[in-house]
Amino acid sequence: MKHCLFPGKFNSWLCPSFLHKIPIDIINLWWYVSGMKVKTSITLSDEILKAIDLHIGEYRSRSEFLETAARKFIAQLARKEAERRDLEIINRHADSLNAEAKDVLTYQVPL
């Protein structure tokens, strides 16, 4: 099968020619479930709601605005955690890194 995405025993599942055999209802169900939202209730101050309404702009709803804000904040937390781990590794090896840098500088030609 020359149009398969991956070689191997699962070729029939990964070939575009097989996609026409999957019932459209299953494809729609997968799309629906993967994008499904869960209704929840939160309590916010009036000040925050007014600020959201003031900045809602291109967002279709408060829910979309808050979901976008939460995603960005979670990504920011993940970046901070990664930076914290990186700094911890650098600090753990600081003495050897500084010694190596000092050694490299001895090879520098004076200008």
pLDDT along the chain (111 residues), means of 10: 46 51 58 70 95 93 92 93 94 94 90 80
Confidence at residue 81, expressed as pLDDT on a 0 to 100 scale: 94
Contact 28, 16 (CB under 8 A): no
Helices (H), the chain: 11-14, 16-19, 24-34, 46-55, 62-92, 94-105
Contact 10, 17 (CB under 8 A): no
Residue-range domain boundaries for the chain: 1-36, 40-111
Q: Phi and psi of 36, rounded to 5°?
A: -65, 140
Confidence at residue 13, expressed as pLDDT on a 0 to 100 scale: 47
Label residue 63 left, alpha or beta by phi (over 0 means left) and psi (-120 to 50 means alpha): alpha
pTM value is 0.56
Confidence at residue 19, expressed as pLDDT on a 0 to 100 scale: 53
